Structure 1
């Protein structure tokens, strides 16, 4: 009798699990690079079942050097895409593409310039006295803003080939990087901690790690969009302030070149520099966006001749799914503050 009851219970649990799985809406989120801590909140929401709790079966499809997930979004092959900074969305507006930013999970883009310590290069203005290793994409975007806003020159720039050797060899050169990544590599390879200048803290006001969807997705499945935005915010709170081991296990499994040490460093720097949780997110919740920030960054890019004037940037974002304070109570619970 006891065995029969247990068997019946097991069947009931299995049936319920199958029914839940069948009721979930399958969607794909394409990232813009290989799995890393900078994607941790999304992996955490998968690991914790947070997406499933609000009705989504989320597949995270990683990007990489040979993968163009943004093209798959535009072609309707995936439902959600991780944008970089807002320049990509401005480009969509310029081309009349019905792409919409529905959340911004990085309040600050992690872009930095690094210098050697002990060289009198301790202030942002000091960077104007040395050569700077800047990649082509950076030169066409944030470096144009640096020239317009601060008086940096094109002659200072040397092409960066994503090889740190020239920077390590010359203490009078600066190098671009991400605060969550390149400084760690310099510490490991060079044996010193570089000076770090986070461009966001000097006025490069773009959001980053945005969630992009096509307008058709908003029209056809708004509840799924809301679920993804809310669950991702909760995932980020759990990843930053709770136990990130579930997400890290998924990241390490999906990216064999990643290490636990790199993940720990990246989490620490995201928290130290307020990459995810700062500015508007402190009051409105992770993923927050405002009209003022969009306008401020757009105006700066127009002034720097990076983006054309007279774009209808209001068409490429919506505040309908953010600024609801989702996860703020969880943050208090996890941090005790």
Structure 2
């Protein structure tokens, strides 16, 4: 929600990934490994679901436990407390924790090369660019106020010119005309708005200066030192799952209606829409999770616009070179 939108909260017991791997002359037990997701089980995490179901983590020697997130889950807390080896989060929260609280974190990959968070409005009353927000009311999750302030600052707009109100991840007020726009995932909420009888319009914050990753892969420095081999294995298996999932975004979500997506209250049509819309934000010629020097610098500059001090050493790209 994140830049993290603390979005969504549902518990799912992951399919067992790992048991043992057969080796010549002996059996080697898979290594227990736990990942903490940033939100409930939806298409945002399809690549991991596929990799679990297809046994890709098991092939890499990992017995993976998958922990879903939710509105009350702070992803970084899972790795601080030792409940998970790795988590998905966002650069603003992670880098602020490093620079302001001394947290010993490293960002080792980025699922979303372009952050899916954007300004969503109605096509009949469109907000097409930051300048269109002047004099308008936008609903923003409290954890994302800094994100909107960054957008305004980077586009030369005084924040007093925009009326910012709380947002509860429900587009109903937008459809009813009570607000002019909301801050949300452009990969998902337009579908909901369509179901409510209106057509959505949106733009990505990324395309207007807030050049941040999302669902960054974060570990503690201690885990990076102690479990490097396992982290590389996780990246390799996860990349394989994402590549297969994105090859046909409509293929796998229907297969998870009674497993990964059970009980969320979301339709499979919604998940297919989400999975399809996120493909160009994840795909990169450098490989899933890639972090180029240029993009890392863009992240650092975007955060600097709102007073968050980042530096290159907060990102570790060496594991990606080992995949």
- Tell me if TM exceeds 0.5: yes
**Which 5+ residue runs of structure 2 have no aligned equivalent?**
1-18
Q: Contact conserved, 1:47 with 1:247, CA < 8 A, in 2?
A: no
Deviation at 1:49, TM superposition (A): 0.8
Greater C-alpha Rg? 1
Partner of 2:318: 320
Q: Deviations over 1:249-280 (max 9, x none)?
A: 54213x44232122111012112xx2111xxx
**Which 5+ residue runs of structure 1 have no aligned equivalent?**
1-16, 327-337
More strand by share: 2
Q: Contact conserved, 1:131 with 1:157, CA < 8 A, in 2?
A: yes
1:252 aligns with 2:250: no
- Partner of 1:320, secondary structure, is coil
Q: Contact conserved, 2:110 with 2:289, CA < 8 A, in 1?
A: yes
Aligned equivalents of 2:47 and 2:125: distance in 1? 37
Deviates more, 1:43-52 or 1:199-208: 199-208
Aligned equivalents of 2:191 and 2:118: distance in 1? 13
Q: Contact conserved, 2:137 with 2:165, CA < 8 A, in 1?
A: no
- Partner of 1:252, secondary structure, is coil
Deviation at 1:67, TM superposition (A): 3.3
Deviation at 1:89, TM superposition (A): 2.0
Shift in alpha-carbon separation, 1:69–1:123, aligned structure 2, 3 A? closer
TM-score of the superposed pair, with normalisation by structure 2: 0.83
Partner of 1:164: 171
Q: Contact conserved, 2:173 with 2:179, CA < 8 A, in 1?
A: no
More helix by share: 1
Partner of 1:117: 123
Deviation at 1:248, TM superposition (A): 5.8
Partner of residue 269 from structure 1, selected from 277, 285, 291: 277
Report the aligned-residue RMSD.
Answer: 2.3
Q: Deviations over 1:89-138 (max 9, x none)?
A: 21232122211111111101110111222336445532335222222222
Q: Contact conserved, 2:138 with 2:179, CA < 8 A, in 1?
A: no
Task: After TM superposition, list the pairs within 5 Å mapping 1:1-337 onto structure 2.
Answer: 20=22, 23-83=29-89, 85-94=90-99, 95-119=101-125, 121-140=127-146, 142-155=147-160, 156-162=162-168, 163-170=170-177, 173-189=180-196, 191-242=197-248, 243-245=251-253, 250-253=259-262, 255-271=263-279, 274-277=280-283, 281-282=284-285, 284-305=286-307, 307-308=308-309, 311=310, 313-322=311-320
- Partner of 2:207, secondary structure, is helix
Count of aligned residue pairs for this structure pair: 295
Partner of 1:330: none
TM-score of the superposed pair, with normalisation by structure 1: 0.80
